[in-house]
């Protein structure tokens, strides 16, 4: 009697794929490497995800869905553009704990492997920026905080600059100060969850 076929935990396979990129870089991500890490066959990985590009798509989608869920939890239902931007920046700052940061760094590197995804990422961010009213002090402050947080995220993610923990905290705290000086500050409870 043949043994029952073991089911494959897709989330665990995605975690292992992220670990490969984090530890060895994006070039090391192959179907074979993921299969070996997961202790399954290459066919098992392909059955779950198809091609390497489809695996990358699922990794990116999971990351974006998790991040957008954090933004929504901070912003609440039907936020105005300013509240949505504050929530986005707060959620981004929350990405910088050790586990989240490793995952975000992986996703930044994967964006470079998929030019279409990178274009999609920029389009979403452009929409966020375009929603702000830059004729107001609040809109300009939010745009500055957004550009600063995204710039810091990319500089750190691509290891263009190395930040000590103290320097990183000083930079992100200053971004928070910009947000707090603009009107319509996030309620303390929501700010604490995201930041």
pLDDT digits (tens, 9 = 90+) for 67-95: 889 999 999 999 999 899 889 888 887 66
Tokens of 145: 């905080």
Residue 127 in domain: yes
- Put simply, whether the predicted model's pTM sits higher than 0.85 gets the answer no
Number of domains the chain contains: 2
Residue 116 in domain: yes
**Nearest of 193, 18, 10 to residue 90 by alpha carbon:** 193
CA angle 22, 57, 85 (to 5 degrees): 80
- 34 and 68 assigned to the same domain: no
Measured distance between the N- and C-terminal CA atoms of the chain, rounded to whole angstroms: 55
Helix axes 165-181, 81-94, angle to 10 degrees: 170
**Nearest of 7, 106, 112 to residue 62 by alpha carbon:** 106
- 163 and 77 assigned to the same domain: yes
CATH number at residue 60: 1.10.357
- 70 and 144 assigned to the same domain: yes
Domain of residue 37 covers 7-50
The arithmetic mean of pLDDT across residues 42-66, rounded, is 89
Residue 2 in domain: no
- 72 and 150 assigned to the same domain: yes
């Amino acid at each position: 009697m043949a043994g029952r076929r073991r089911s494959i935990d897709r989330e665990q396979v995605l975690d292992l794929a992220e670990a490969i990129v984090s530890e060895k870089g994006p070039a090391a991500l192959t179907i074979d490497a993921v299969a070996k890490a997961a202790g399954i066959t290459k066919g098992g990985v392909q059955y779950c995800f198809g091609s390497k590009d489809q695996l990358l798509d699922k990794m990116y989608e999971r990351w974006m869905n998790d991040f957008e869920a954090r933004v929504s939890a901070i912003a609440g239902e039907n936020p105005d553009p300013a509240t949505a931007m504050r929530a986005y920046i707060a959620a981004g700052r929350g990405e910088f704990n050790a586990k989240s940061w490793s995952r975000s760094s992986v996703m930044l590197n994967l964006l470079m492997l998929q030019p279409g995804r990178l274009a999609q990422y920029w389009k979403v961010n452009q929409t966020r920026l375009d929603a702000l009213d830059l004729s107001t002090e609040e809109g300009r402050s939010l745009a500055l905080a957004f550009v600063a947080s995204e710039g810091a995220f990319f500089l750190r993610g691509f290891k263009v600059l190395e930040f000590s923990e103290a320097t990183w905290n000083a930079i992100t705290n200053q971004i928070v100060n910009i947000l707090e000086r603009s009107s319509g500050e996030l309620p303390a409870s929501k700010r604490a969850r995201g930041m």
